[in-house]
């Protein structure tokens, strides 16, 4: 890497970074010189692959095994990361889906999605904000979804969790801005990587036709928005959700 990146030497944790959009985001921070905590739950080999991409791009980092549903595990991992460098940026990307039409949705699938997508975001924010407040600087970017702002049949649990992430985002933004900590969100639409990559081909083609740009997004296109929101270039942006969906929600 030539010159200094926007996040040279800054500590960044990305949850759900072992693959998909989380991997793209972690890679992008690495390319900007960040020290990246590649947080994962079970796929250590894939997390190591993400870390290799981070390092190849000019960054540094470590893998952080944690389950965002486990408060003690989150607290421990964040403290271990902070021991190496202050945490400047947190990106909450960890999420699960258990799609089912609401009348057939069992309670355990509702609970699992809420526990990971919403409560997991709460736990990670809680672990990050205290040292950020003490230093009076930091940025949090929560990954929501267009499913959190519009109807998504078959995803009542996922939509509720992602709408909850948006409510958490705006309230934290108002509480933390006076302490120099900015909180914002992104709402991705359909992307070639992550959950979009696991769609049946025929479903993917049909949904792709619903996007005004006529295509699924590239992971880098979401990562660029996340990096912008976390960077000094967005220093006066607080409590906003940027929809990144190629116009699908218009």
Q: How far from the centroid of its chain's Cα atoms is residue 99's Cα? A: 20
pLDDT digits (tens, 9 = 90+) for 189-203: 999 886 655 555 655
Catalytic pick among 98, 158, 179, 236: 158
Domains of the chain: 11-244 (3.40.50.720)
* Number of residues in the chain: 250
pLDDT digits (tens, 9 = 90+) for 33-54: 999 999 999 989 999 999 999 9
pLDDT digits (tens, 9 = 90+) for 112-122: 999 999 999 99
pLDDT of residue 4 exceeding 80, the answer is no
204 pLDDT tier (thresholds 50, 70, 90): low
Answer whether 248's CB lies under 8 Å from 191's CB. Answer: no
Told to judge if 158 belongs to the known catalytic residues of this protein, a careful annotator would answer yes
* Confidence (pLDDT) at 209: 73
pLDDT digits (tens, 9 = 90+) for 79-105: 999 998 899 999 999 999 999 999 999
* Confidence (pLDDT) at 250: 87
* Distance (Å) of CA 9 to CA 31, 60, 87, 219, 250: 11, 9, 10, 23, 39
pLDDT digits (tens, 9 = 90+) for 142-190: 999 999 998 888 999 999 999 999 999 999 999 999 999 999 999 999 9
Write down the pTM of the prediction.
Answer: 0.93
């Amino acid at each position: 890497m030539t010159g200094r990146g926007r996040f040279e030497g800054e500590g960044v944790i990305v949850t759900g970074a072992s693959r998909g959009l989380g991997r793209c985001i972690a890679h992008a921070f690495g390319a900007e010189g960040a020290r990246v905590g590649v947080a994962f739950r079970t796929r250590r080999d894939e997390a190591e692959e993400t870390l290799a991409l981070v390092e190849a791009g000019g960054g540094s980092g470590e893998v952080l095994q944690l389950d965002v549903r486990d408060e003690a595990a989150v607290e421990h991992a964040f403290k271990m990361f902070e021991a190496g460098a202050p945490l400047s940026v947190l990106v909450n990307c960890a999420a699960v889906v258990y799609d089912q039409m609401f009348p057939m949705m069992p309670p355990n699938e509702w609970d699992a999605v809420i526990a990971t997508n919403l409560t997991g975001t709460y736990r990670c924010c809680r672990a990050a904000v205290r040292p950020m407040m003490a230093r009076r600087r930091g940025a949090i970017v929560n990954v929501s979804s267009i499913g959190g702002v519009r109807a998504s049949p078959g995803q009542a649990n996922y939509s509720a969790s992602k709408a909850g992430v948006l409510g958490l985002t705006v309230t934290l933004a108002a509480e933390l801005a006076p302490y120099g900590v900015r909180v914002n969100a992104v709402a991705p639409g359909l992307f070639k990587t992550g959950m979009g990559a696991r769609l049946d081909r025929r479903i993917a083609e049909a949904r792709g036709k619903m996007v005004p740009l006529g295509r699924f997004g590239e992971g880098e296109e979401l990562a660029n928005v996340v990096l912008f929101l976390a960077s000094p270039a967005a220093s006066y942006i607080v409590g906003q959700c940027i929809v990144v969906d190629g116009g699908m929600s218009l």
